[in-house]
Amino acid sequence: MKLATVGKGGSGKTTIAGTLTRIFAERGNKILAIDGDPNPNLAHTLGLTRSEVEKITYIPPSIMKQGERVNDVVQMVPTIPREEIISEYGVKAAPYVDLLVMGQPAHGSAGSGCMCASHRAVRGLVAELTAFGEHTVTDMEAGLEHLKRGTARHVDMMLIVAEPYYRSLEAAMRTAELSRELEIPFIKLVANKVRNSSDEEAIRTFCDQHGIDVIGVVPLDDNLVEAERLEKAPYDFKPDSPGVQSIRKIAQEIDSLGVN
């Protein structure tokens, strides 16, 4: 299983990626969690403390170099073997969970303002790392741009996280369209921060109209915000909270789909 969470900024990608990872890890399968957001924050939702987070060595974009040109796009490839990347930069985040965190794209030289090459390196690295191991959960950066650059090349399940308001759903629809173009085998929507039945109905109606499958509904749950404030994993903070329980249900749904 190679799963990625995508969606609009603030929709809940990191919360859901981190909590799902912990739930999958309960089964004793090793999971590689990848923080593919240039502003990383997956570590806390997995359960690392502030001092542990401060010790994480981010993978520098400079370990990527230009490779072949595919469909007119120059691919970025790592300069050191994958195993070395994990042993050098991987962090034990929880039982059966290793975490890799991307570096920030380096800033362009003063005045040039160009971060393209560096962004490209980070994105190439996200794609490359997603090919690691059997089970990966990647927390992607917000928006669509990176998907066009191939970050989801190895992903077999795209979890599109959306909130019950029109712009979020519209963004989800575009993400679903792009994911179909990329031929990602499983494309599912998680309805997050749902306040009531009319929120849920609005999401379900929208998704029906656009042929998007809803895999689960996560209620608006203050426990998730509180966990974040305390820099704790929602999974550790309140495993029985409605938010964590509904993410557990999503994990069961994913299992029942038989994603490898």
Distance between CA atoms of 32 and 102, rounded to whole angstroms? 13
Instruction: Return the residues of window 15-54 that contact ligand ATP according to CB under 6 A.
Output: 15, 37
Residue 245 three-state SS: helix
- The reply to whether 175 sits near ligand ATP by the rule CB under 6 A is no
- The reply to whether 178 sits near ligand ATP by the rule CB under 6 A is no
List 13, 44, 123, 149, residue binding ligand ATP (CB under 6 A): 13
Helices (H), the chain: 13-25, 42-46, 50-54, 82-89, 116-130, 145-148, 166-181, 197-209, 222-229, 234-237, 242-257
| 115 φ, ψ (degrees, to nearest 5) | -115, 10
Q: Which range in 12-20, 100-108, 128-136, 180-188 contacts ligand ATP by CB under 6 A?
A: 12-20
Residue 89 three-state SS: helix
Distance between CA atoms of 177 and 160, rounded to whole angstroms? 11
List 5, 14, 75, 138, residue binding Mg ion (CB under 5 A): 14
Q: Which range in 7-15, 48-56, 117-125, 219-227 contacts Mg ion by CB under 5 A?
A: 7-15
Instruction: Return the residues of window 241-260 that contact ligand ATP according to CB under 6 A.
Output: 243
Distance between CA atoms of 250 and 228, rounded to whole angstroms? 21
By beta-carbon proximity to ligand ATP, the closer residue of 78 and 193 is 193
By beta-carbon proximity to Mg ion, the closer residue of 13 and 154 is 13
By beta-carbon proximity to ligand ATP, the closer residue of 216 and 243 is 243
Binding site for ligand ATP (CB under 6 A): 7, 9-15, 37, 142, 192-193, 218, 220-221, 224-225, 228, 243
